[in-house]
Amino acid sequence: MDLKKFRATAARKRKPLTAFLDKLDEIVPHDMPELVAKVDATVWQDINCMECANCCKTMTPTFTKADVKRIAAHLEMKPKEFMDKWLKKEEDSGDWVNTTQPCQFLVDNMCSIYEVRPADCAEFPHHNKKPFDLYNDTFKNNLIHCPATLTLVDRLKKIVEKEYEW
């Protein structure tokens, strides 16, 4: 994964893809779930997270109480000890997030706590959320972080603009 090239592509395509997602807030193709599933399958043929890890390098997951309890136990730590060492509370949202980026658990481009990783990480990049358009703001934000989301939205845009009344 050439992340330098991805960043340049994302910078170039962010505006038109954001405009597409904005419009998708108002006009949702009737077969959106099937279309997203079909296009998303093509995305994962071309993108390998193991060669990327850009989400772990540039973003932070939110840690729920259950995440903290599970991960701290896995690391043989007390939840408070775990939180004091690695987390901070975001002022605006009140979410518990990492203090540093890349994530402290990213080792050799892989998640060292994969089996017990936060639910937020397990669900990322949220392409299978339903309804898809409910997560448009998330996708807009992730266009510059996730090559898979950039590719999915780009491919959706091309298909929808060509084959649907739009």
Binding site for ligand SF4 (CB under 6 A): 47, 49, 52-56, 61, 103, 105-106, 111, 113, 117-118, 121, 124-125, 145-148
Answer yes or no: are the C-beta atoms of 139 and 14 closer than 8 Å: no
Is there a cis peptide before residue 102, judged by omega within 30 degrees of 0? yes
The least CB distance from residue 54 to ligand SF4, in Å, is: 4
For 110, phi then psi, to 5°, come to -130, 155
Choice between 29 and 118, CB closer to ligand SF4: 118
- Distance in Å, CB of 14 to ligand SF4, minimum: 15
User: Please, what is the minimum distance in Å from the beta carbon of residue 112 to ligand SF4?
Assistant: 7
Q: Where are the alpha helices (DSSP H) in the chain?
A: 3-24, 32-46, 54-58, 65-74, 79-86, 119-123, 136-142, 147-163
Q: Which is nearer to ligand SF4, 29 or 61 (CB)?
A: 61
Work out the burial of residue 160: count CB atoms within 10 Å of its CB; fewer than 13 is exposed, 13-18 middle, 19 or more buried: buried
CB 47, min distance to ligand SF4, A: 5
Pick between residue 20 and residue 86 the one whose CB is nearest to ligand SF4.
86
By beta-carbon proximity to ligand SF4, the closer residue of 29 and 153 is 153
Q: CA nearest 102: which of 49, 54, 146, 43?
A: 54
Q: What is the rounded distance in angstroms from the CA atom of residue 38 to the CA atom of residue 92?
A: 37
Least CB distance from residue 50 to ligand SF4, whole Å? 8
Residue (85 or 161) nearer to ligand SF4, CB: 85
